[in-house]
């Protein structure tokens, strides 16, 4: 390595990478009048498309969409020849872009950036290259690519092979000729699947070593689809706008057809249409629930496996090629041209490494556990250290010398995938925590570049020179990224999305799966709210509006959007009868909740007549006795009945292993305070007295309720204590009403927009109790004597007007010596935790609730689910 030059050059910005990201970033920075230097270790522009020159290399997003949109003139001047363009054509396109905008003059090729250090006093980055150059800059921008750091083959003896060795990701510019050769291909990811059919055309003998069978669908390549071109011709701007605000970066109407409920003919029809279309987002959109529901996913997966079985003649090979160890889509599916049919050729053979693992590479071939193979050439299609590999390898150290490698040892942490705390003025384009590899990347790249450019422009306008996310904002975003992943099947796969292909890499879901549209919205909101979560400093002063841009669970947000779109009248503007009818109508199409052993209806004698109840027995051998849970439904003492909370009761029964007796009580305004509470008290006494007939264990009884049901459950505990019996083992209070004081902050913060509103709560109180009665502990149990009450589990949801009173009750019970488990329903609303099988993120909270119920009982049997 040469000695560093004595006088480092200074630039406003340094960009690493001259692919799609780096080229557009350079263009935008120049527009801002900034001095810029771009480095790339490649010999020319192109990034991915410079390096990946293997036979068959193509994009897998239609090229009409996998293209820049920032320059309308460019769009007119360039016409893609195929639906999925080849690598040479995409490379040619990027060269054309570079020439058109004269970009090369600011790019230094064949130069790798080897380190970067933040110089705090100077507020500059010091950057060194493998050519011994040192440059300084204010803004350091990584356009280093998500799939640019090849994964070195972790196979014993890999360096020993004396024949020709190729890596799909570093293919020689002069190409490779396999004519007459015995060739091995190791790896059946996208690059393997694209190259294998073409290598098979030349090779005398081709052996494919497969560790993981992957899903692939035929690309049906050819001319760009006429309908797509028509759409573009009719309104290019509208089309590009639709792409920017789509989930994946390609305009597409998300289906609402559920795989689990669709008829067989609808399933077939939707699948065959997607199969014929040959597009990734199409096959991922056969059913709305295929990414989250294993049963729905299995339907699509099995249909693809059937296609593989019908394409491959040898049944054993076909079976080995059928992916069975991951849900469809949870590893990036591939698009191919004749991949599976290639295995019908007599000179092509598949070796399943799960059955016949490679022991070592030898001088002249490959040895598996039970066979020796001789080869003239080995092709490694072994993938990339995705998303973080190139960033970490560039040796970046921020404030206090902390390196990215050290900071990210437990997994990458970013704000919006764009920046990371401790690294001022350090930007990542398509970094971990952004939609990146789950999207049409050109759309994501343009969004990132535009956001960064606008941010730098805003900073300049306001005399600010440094920007860095706060720890709070970053932690919030990391959590949101994981929350979005957690409601899908994606984290279940050993995929490169999870870092699972690189030994020792932490298992973290790397990309943001909430959608290109949702991501863009979040970024726009951050900018609009004075760069929420960023700390900025400069001659213009210092400023920081700290906060978390997304803290609601993603599926809860979807439900709220859905409800808002229905345009329903606010409940508090309706009569009680109309509100009840509306509530029943909105519950019509919901999933039924889990199966339980038995459900029976009956009546119990209440203080003023019979009260209906519904009993849920857990699955399991008949006859066994179980603890009893007496449950009261929610609905503000006005709404609700045995049907309204049926899925939740099933869920509680299945999770706790207890018999759940859901009791209806008299409703307001027909019968007002204290009827509901007195009914609840009577129901508890009756259940205890009839425990054996109900299939319960005498003395093992808990109460539970949601919302106003939790109110009467809590009151029943106090009344039972005062009546000296029966013994209650525990009280489960889900988002309870425990006080009539509506001045706590959560009433203000969550006043509107989260289904239960402050106005609706007032309407409930007005229907239930006279103002003079609202301070009575039978209405507001928080105001009662809390000594000697049963252990409690209280669920408090973040976006609930009742949150603070639930927390206050927990604290007050604790202070009175009552054991309390306070479960925070993070990112949930008053209603979302109860939405069984609709709000997937509620499942962990309900699992906790189930555990709490089991803990109430001294000798509970394991649950039946
Ligand atoms: C075979 C293949 C097919 C793909 N097909 C699609 C597709 O159809 N649709 C899609 O959306 N995405 C696709 N992708 C993803 C693709 O990577 C992106 O679409 C896009 O090309 C990324 O552009 P980029 O500029 O961000 O990164 P890259 O194109 O990866 O460019 C990064 C550049 O940074 C350089 N670099 C990295 N580190 C350093 C350093 N320390 N010093 C100097 N230079 C450095 C690299 O040499 C590289 O040239 C594909 C990827 C592969 C590998």
584's enclosing H/E stretch is helix 576-586
> Ligand 1: distance of its center to the CA of 17 in Å?
8
- Asked if residue 323 lies in contact with residue 340, where contact means CB atoms within 8 angstroms, the answer is no
Res. 336: pLDDT tops 70:
yes
Contact 340, 369 (CB under 8 A): no
* Residue 3's pLDDT band (cuts 50, 70, 90): very low
CB 525 within 8 A of CB 550: no
Dump pLDDT digits (tens) for 753-811.
Answer: 999 999 999 999 999 999 999 999 999 999 999 999 999 999 999 999 999 999 999 99
Percent of the chain with pLDDT over 70: 98
Ligand 1 near 112 CB (within 6 A): yes
Q: Flag whether pLDDT at 104 surpasses 60.
A: yes
Task: List Cβ neighbours of 212 (8 Å cut-off, separation of 6 or more).
Answer: 188, 323, 325, 326, 331, 494
pLDDT tens-digit series, residues 667-708: 999 999 999 999 999 999 999 999 999 999 999 999 999 999
Minimal-distance CA residue to ligand 1 atom 35: 17
Which tens digit of pLDDT belongs to each residue from 811-821?
A: 999 999 999 99
Query: Residue 859: is its pLDDT beyond 90?
Result: no
Cis status, amide bond into 123, omega within 30 of 0: no
Instruction: Return the DSSP state at 790.
Output: P
The backbone torsions φ and ψ at residue 439, rounded to the nearest 5 degrees and listed phi first, read -125, 175
Q: Strand (E) positions, 640-758?
A: 659-663, 696-706, 730-734
Pocket of ligand 1 contains residue 40 by CB under 6 Å:
yes
Judge if the beta carbon of residue 38 lies within 6 A of ligand 1.
no
Q: What is the pTM of this model?
A: 0.95
Q: pLDDT at position 238, please? A: 96
Q: Which atom of ligand 1 is nearest to the CA of 130?
A: 42
Q: Directed axis angle between helix 87-100 and helix 20-31, to 10°?
A: 10
**For atom 37 of ligand 1, which residue has the closest CA?**
144
Could you tell me which of 811, 800, 805 has the C-alpha nearest to residue 834? 800
388 lines ligand 1 (CB under 6 A): no
Q: Residue 624 has what pLDDT?
A: 78
Centre of ligand 1 from the C-alpha of residue 519, in Å: 21
Q: Are 472 and 548 in contact (CB under 8 A)?
A: yes
Q: Look at residue 483 in the predicted model and tell me its pLDDT.
A: 98
As given in the structure block, the two tokens for residue 62 are: 């239609």
Give the residue carrying structure tokens 């350079």.
26
* CA distance to 660, 725, 746, 827, per residue, from 738 (Å): 23, 22, 14, 21
Q: Does the beta carbon of 13 lie inside 6 Å of ligand 1?
A: no
How distant, in Å, are the alpha carbons of 133, 360, 487 from that of 345?
53, 27, 42
- d(CA 22, ligand 1 centre) in Å: 10
pLDDT in the model for residue 166: 97
Angstrom distance (rounded) from CA 614 to CA 659: 10
d(C-alpha 709, C-alpha 629), whole Å: 13
pLDDT tens-digit map of 525-548: 999 999 999 999 999 899 999 999
> CA 250, CA 240: separation in Å to the nearest integer?
8
Quick check: 5 pLDDT over 90? no
Annotate 637-695 with three-state secondary structure: CCCCCCCCCHHHHHHHHHHHCCEEEEECCCCCCCCCCCHHHHHHHHHHHHHHHCCCCCC
Q: 3-state class of 745 per DSSP?
A: helix
Tens of pLDDT along 414-458? 999 999 999 999 999 999 999 999 999 999 999 999 999 999 999
Total residue length of the chain: 865
Whether the pLDDT of residue 4 is over 70: the answer is no
| Ligand 1 contacts CB of residue 41 (under 6 A) | yes
- Beta bridge mates, 607: 609
Query: What is the position in ligand 1's atom list of the atom closest to the CA of 58?
Result: 3
Q: What is the CA(397)–ligand 1 centre distance, in A?
A: 23
Give yes or no for residue 621 having a pLDDT over 90.
no
For the chain, the straight-line distance linking the first and the last C-alpha, in angstroms and rounded, comes to 64
What would the pLDDT profile of 267-289 be if each residue is shown by its tens digit? 999 999 999 999 999 999 999 99
Q: Best substitution site from 441, 444, 449 to test ligand 1's pocket, by max atoms within 8 Å of Cβ?
A: 441
Q: Percentage of the chain with pLDDT > 90?
A: 95
Q: What is the pLDDT of residue 620?
A: 83
The preferred substitution site among 46, 47, 95 for testing ligand 1, maximizing ligand atoms within 8 Å of CB, is 47
Give the integer Cα–Cα distance in Å for 735 and 822.
11
Over residues 206-224, the mean pLDDT reads 97
Distance CA 462, CA 790 (A): 59
Q: What is the distance in A from the centroid of ligand 1 to the CA of 757?
A: 48
Pick the atom of ligand 1 nearest to 444's CA: 11
Q: What is the DSSP letter of 56?
A: T
Task: Provide the pLDDT for residue 1.
Answer: 44
> Helix/strand/coil (H, E, C) string of 372-412?
EEECCEEEECCCECCCCHHHHHCCEECHHHCEHHHHCCCCC
The half-sphere exposure of 338 on its side-chain side, counting CA atoms within 13 A, is: 11
Task: Tell me the C-alpha distance between 402 and 231, whole Å.
Answer: 50
Band of pLDDT at residue 861, cut at 50, 70 and 90: low
Between 843-856 and 646-656, two packed helices, what is the crossing angle to 10 degrees? 60
The average pLDDT across 713-739 equals 97
Contacts of 773 (CB under 8 A, 6+ apart): 673, 674, 779
Mutate to test the pocket of ligand 1, among 148, 167, 278, 280 (most ligand atoms within 8 A of CB): 148
Taken in order 769, 774, 776, 781, the sign of the CA dihedral is positive
Q: What is the pLDDT confidence band of residue 400, given thresholds at 50, 70 and 90?
A: very high
* CB of 430 closer than 6 angstroms to any ligand 1 atom: yes
Q: How far is the CA of 717 from the centre of ligand 1 (A)?
A: 63
Does residue 435 have its Cβ closer than 6 Å to ligand 1? no
Q: Residue 425: CA atoms inside 13 Å, Cβ hemisphere, count? A: 28
pLDDT band at 6 (very low <50, low <70, confident <90, very high): low
Beta bridge partners of 403: 397
Nearest to 688 by CA among 725, 644, 739, 642: 725
């Amino acid at each position: 390595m040469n000695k560093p030059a004595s006088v480092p050059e200074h630039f406003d910005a340094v960009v690493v990478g001259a692919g799609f990201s780096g080229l557009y970033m350079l263009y935008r920075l120049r527009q801002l009048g900034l001095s810029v230097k771009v480095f790339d270790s490649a010999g020319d522009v192109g990034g991915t498309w410079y390096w990946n020159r293997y036979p068959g290399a193509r994009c897998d997003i239609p090229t009409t969409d996998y293209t820049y949109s920032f320059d309308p003139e460019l769009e007119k001047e360039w016409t893609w020849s195929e639906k999925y363009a080849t690598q040479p054509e995409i490379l040619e396109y990027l060269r054309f872009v570079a020439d058109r905008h004269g970009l090369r003059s600011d790019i230094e090729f064949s130069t790798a950036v080897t380190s970067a250090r933040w110089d705090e006093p100077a507020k500059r980055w010091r950057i060194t290259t493998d050519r011994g150059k040192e440059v300084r800059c204010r803004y350091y921008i990584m356009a280093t690519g998500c799939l640019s750091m090849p994964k070195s083959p972790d196979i014993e003896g890999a360096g020993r092979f004396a024949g020709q060795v190729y890596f799909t990701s570093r293919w020689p510019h002069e190409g490779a000729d396999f004519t007459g050769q015995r060739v091995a291909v190791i790896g059946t990811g996208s690059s393997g699947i694209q190259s294998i059919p073409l290598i098979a055309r030349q090779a005398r003998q081709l052996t494919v070593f497969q560790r993981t069978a992957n899903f692939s669908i035929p690309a049906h390549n050819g001319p760009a689809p006429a309908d797509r071109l028509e759409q573009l011709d009719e309104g290019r701007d509208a089309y590009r706008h639709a792409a920017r605000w789509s989930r994946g970066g390609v305009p597409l109407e998300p289906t609402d057809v559920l795989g689990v409920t669709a008829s067989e003919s609808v399933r077939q029809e939707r699948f065959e249409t997607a199969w014929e279309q040959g597009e990734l987002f199409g096959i991922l959109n056969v059913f709305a629930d295929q990414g989250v529901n294993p049963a729905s996913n299995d339907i699509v997966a099995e249909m693809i496996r059937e296609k593989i079985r019908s394409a491959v003649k040898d049944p054993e090979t076909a079976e080995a090629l059928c992916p069975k160890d991951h849900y469809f889509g949870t590893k990036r599916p591939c698009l191919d041209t004749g991949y599976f049919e290639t295995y019908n050729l007599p000179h092509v053979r598949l070796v399943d490494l799960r059955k016949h693992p490679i022991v070592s590479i030898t001088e002249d071939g490959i040895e598996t556990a039970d066979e020796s193979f001789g080869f003239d050439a080995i092709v490694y299609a072994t993938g990339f250290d995705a998303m973080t590999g190139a960033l970490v390898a560039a040796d970046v150290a921020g404030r206090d010398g902390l390196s990215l490698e050290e900071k990210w040892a437990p997994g990458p942490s970013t704000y919006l995938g764009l920046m990371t705390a401790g690294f001022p003025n350090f930007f990542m384009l398509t970094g971990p925590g952004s939609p990146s590899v789950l999207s049409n990347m050109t759309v994501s790249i343009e969004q990132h570049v535009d956001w960064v450019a606008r941010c730098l422009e805003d900073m300049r306008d306001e005399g600010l020179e440094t920007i860095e996310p706060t720890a709070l904002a970053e932690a919030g975003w990391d959590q949101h990224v994981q929350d979005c992943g957690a409601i899908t099947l994606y984290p279940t796969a050993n995929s490169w999305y999870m870092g699972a292909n690189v030994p020792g890499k932490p298992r973290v879901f790397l990309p943001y799966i909430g959608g290109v549209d949702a991501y863009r919205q979040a970024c726009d909101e951050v900018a609009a709210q004075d760069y929420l979560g960023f700390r900025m400093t400069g001659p213009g002063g210092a400023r920081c509006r700290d906060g978390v841009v997304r803290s609601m669970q993603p599926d809860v947000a979807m439900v709220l959007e859905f409800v808002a779109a229905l345009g329903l009248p606010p409940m508090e503007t309706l009569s009680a009868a109309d509100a009840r009818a509306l509530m029943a109508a909105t519950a019509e199409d919901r999933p039924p909740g889990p199966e339980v052993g038995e459900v029976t209806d009956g009546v119990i004698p209440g203080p003023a007549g019979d009260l209906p109840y519904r009993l849920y027995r857990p699955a399991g051998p008949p006859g066994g006795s179980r603890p009893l849970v007496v449950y009261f439904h929610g609905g503000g003492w006005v709404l609700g009945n045995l049907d309204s909370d049926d899925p939740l009761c099933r869920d509680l029964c299945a999770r706790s292993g207890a018999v759940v007796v859901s009791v209806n009580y008299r409703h307001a305004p027909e019968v007002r305070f204290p009827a509901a509470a007195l009914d609840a008290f009577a129901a508890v006494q009756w259940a205890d007295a009839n425990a054996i007939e109900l299939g319960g264990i005498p003395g093992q009884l808990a109460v539970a309720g949601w919302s106003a049901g939790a109110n009467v459950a809590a009151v029943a505990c106090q009344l039972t204590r005062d009546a000296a019996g029966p013994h209650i083992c525990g009280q489960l209070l889900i988002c309870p009403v425990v006080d009539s004081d509506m001045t706590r902050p959560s009433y203000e913060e969550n006043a509107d927009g989260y289904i239960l509103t402050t106005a609706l709560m007032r309407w409930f109180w007005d229907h239930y109790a006279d103002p003079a009665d609202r301070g009575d502990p039978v209405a507001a149990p928080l105001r009662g004597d809390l000594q000697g009450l049963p252990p409690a589990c209280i669920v408090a949801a973040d976006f609930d007007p009742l949150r603070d009173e639930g927390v206050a009750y927990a604290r007050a019970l604790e202070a009175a010596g009552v054991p309390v488990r306070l479960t925070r329903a993070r990112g949930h609303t008053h209603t979302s935790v109860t939405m069984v099988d609709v709000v997937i993120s509620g499942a962990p909270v309900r699992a906790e609730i189930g555990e709490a119920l089991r803990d109430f009982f001294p000798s509970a049997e394991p649950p039946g689910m």
